[in-house]
């Protein structure tokens, strides 16, 4: 039965409740009026980067790998617990049906394809080099082909499973408020920090579920920080010649990386920080697959993989690298350009210089590859045919004995 302190008509906290107030405090003003730092969020941000530093600085992927055993598996366990609790709530079935019911008309909307492609790019950290950097620590004959398939299935499966958790809780929230599920299902940061916490406050033993939910979000964020820093530092140190080695090289490099990221992140924890966050989140681009297939060469890449795993991958992989994936990426990019709409957050319309900054972020990742290629061609000696990307860069074969 209900306790005397628990009213029969449970209502979600009003617009001024602490969770929504904390997030909305980062969305006042605008890009041109950043406002003051939110010190509560700033201290949390600093604590996360300090924790990331101490987890990455010493042992590298060895120590980070042990930590990730917990930080990667615990959120999955929390998702299972939240799903079991969520499906037992009234209205959960309506939320799940809303989640799995297909609306085929949406496939004709370019924005759906843009959002889907963006979700894949961010989920797999494509273009950041993190997977490549972490994979470089594997043994030479490690079956990277199998690992890639398993990783794709786990990522996509976890995202699909998490949808059941979220929409079972949102269905309960909609039933409690007496509105349709579409009225409470938000996208972006509002889903994680406003809609879902609101729904959790309506559940019995709310503090327990709220603690599990936000601890899960914290671990997911720390995982992203570990991988991002490790991927960047691995590539950076590999570029430095052996003669540049000095004591505490890794520790200092990680400290500088974390400090730089912290300074950049400070722009997102001001009163107008949510507008900066949306600017970083909205504009992104990626060239990696085109370089592998058409600059390095899909056949050569297939030969390299076969040399490591002792058999050739499915030809479908080559077709994906060469045609399917670049075509999908190009179509999404064209959709972005043709159906481009000025960036808007709530009622705030971004100024022209804000959008110019966003396109600068996007072009910084798009142009670095072709510009680097052009620079290599201009510096190379020989005829155009000899310095062409289609010319063999590494004649002959290579193997473990040649790179060890």
Looking at the fold, whether 252 and 333 belong to one and the same domain comes out as: no
Looking at the fold, whether 132 and 238 belong to one and the same domain comes out as: yes
Looking at the fold, whether 38 and 107 belong to one and the same domain comes out as: yes
Share of the chain above pLDDT 70, in %: 77
Looking at the fold, whether 244 and 309 belong to one and the same domain comes out as: no
The 3-class SS string of 329-357 reads HHHHHHHHHHCCCCCEECCEECCHHHHHH
> Is residue 1 in some structural domain?
no
> Is residue 5 in some structural domain?
no
Cα-Cα-Cα-Cα dihedral sign, residues 278, 13, 94, 219: positive
Looking at the fold, whether 301 and 202 belong to one and the same domain comes out as: no
Give the chain's domain count. 2
Looking at the fold, whether 210 and 305 belong to one and the same domain comes out as: no
Looking at the fold, whether 48 and 163 belong to one and the same domain comes out as: yes
The whole-number pLDDT of residue 6 equals 40
**Residue 352 sits in which domain range?**
285-404
Looking at the fold, whether 305 and 267 belong to one and the same domain comes out as: no
> Is residue 4 in some structural domain?
no
Does residue 268 have a pLDDT over 80? yes
> Is residue 181 in some structural domain?
yes
Looking at the fold, whether 240 and 366 belong to one and the same domain comes out as: no
Looking at the fold, whether 215 and 298 belong to one and the same domain comes out as: no
Token reading at 18: 């602490």
pTM of the model: 0.71
> Is residue 30 in some structural domain?
yes
Give 253-264 pLDDT, tens digit per residue. Answer: 899 999 999 998
Give the end of a domain, one of 250, 283, 316.
Answer: 283
Looking at the fold, whether 319 and 224 belong to one and the same domain comes out as: no
Query: How many residues are recorded in the chain?
Result: 404
378: left (phi over 0), alpha (psi -120 to 50) or beta: alpha
Give 166-179 pLDDT, tens digit per residue. Answer: 888 888 888 888 88
Q: If you average pLDDT over residues 217-227, what whole number do you get?
A: 82
Give the end of a domain, one of 263, 283, 303.
Answer: 283
Give 95-151 pLDDT, tens digit per residue. Answer: 899 888 888 888 877 778 777 777 777 777 766 677 777 788 888 888 888 988 898
Give the end of a domain, one of 234, 264, 283.
Answer: 283
């Amino acid at each position: 039965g209900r306790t005397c302190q628990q009213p029969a008509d449970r209502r979600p906290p009003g617009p001024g409740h602490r969770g929504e107030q904390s997030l909305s405090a980062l969305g006042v003003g605008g890009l041109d009026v950043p406002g003051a730092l939110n010190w509560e969020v700033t201290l949390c941000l600093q604590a996360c980067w300090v924790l990331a530093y101490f987890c990455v600085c010493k042992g590298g992927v060895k120590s980070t790998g042990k930590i990730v055993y917990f930080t990667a598996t615990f959120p999955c366990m929390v998702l299972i617990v939240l799903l079991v609790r969520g499906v037992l709530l009234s209205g959960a079935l309506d939320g799940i049906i809303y989640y799995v019911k297909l609306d085929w008309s949406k496939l004709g909307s370019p924005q759906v394809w843009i959002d889907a492609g963006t979700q894949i790019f961010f989920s797999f950290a494509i273009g950041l080099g993190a997977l490549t950097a972490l994979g470089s620590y594997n043994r030479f004959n490690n079956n990277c082909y199998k690992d890639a398939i398993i990783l794709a299935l786990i990522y996509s499966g976890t995202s699909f499973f998490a949808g059941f958790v979220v929409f079972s809780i949102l269905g309960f929230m909609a039933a409690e408020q007496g509105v349709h599920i579409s009225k409470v299902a938000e996208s972006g940061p509002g889903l994680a920090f406003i809609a879902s916490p609101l729904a959790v406050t309506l559940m019995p033993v709310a503090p327990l579920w709220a603690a599990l939910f936000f601890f899960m979000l914290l671990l997911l964020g720390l995982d992203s920080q570990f991988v991002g820093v490790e991927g960047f530092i691995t590539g950076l140190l590999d570029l430095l010649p052996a003669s540049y080695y000095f004591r505490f090289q890794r520790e200092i490099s990680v400290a500088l990386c974390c400090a730089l990221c912290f300074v950049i992140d400070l722009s997102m924890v001001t009163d107008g920080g949510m507008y900066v966050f949306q600017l970083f989140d909205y504009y992104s681009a990626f060239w990696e697959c085109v370089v592998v297939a058409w600059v390095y060469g899909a056949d050569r890449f297939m030969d390299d993989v076969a040399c490591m795993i002792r058999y050739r991958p499915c030809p479908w992989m080559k077709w994906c690298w060469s045609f399917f994936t670049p075509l999908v990426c190009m179509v999404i990019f064209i959709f972005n350009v043709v159906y481009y709409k000025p960036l808007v957050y709530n009622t705030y319309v971004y100024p022209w210089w804000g959008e110019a900054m966003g396109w600068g972020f996007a072009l910084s990742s798009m142009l670095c590859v072709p510009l680097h290629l052009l620079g290599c061609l201009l510096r190379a000696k020989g005829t155009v045919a000899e310095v062409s990307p289609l010319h063999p860069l590494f004649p002959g074969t290579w193997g473990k004995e040649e790179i060890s």
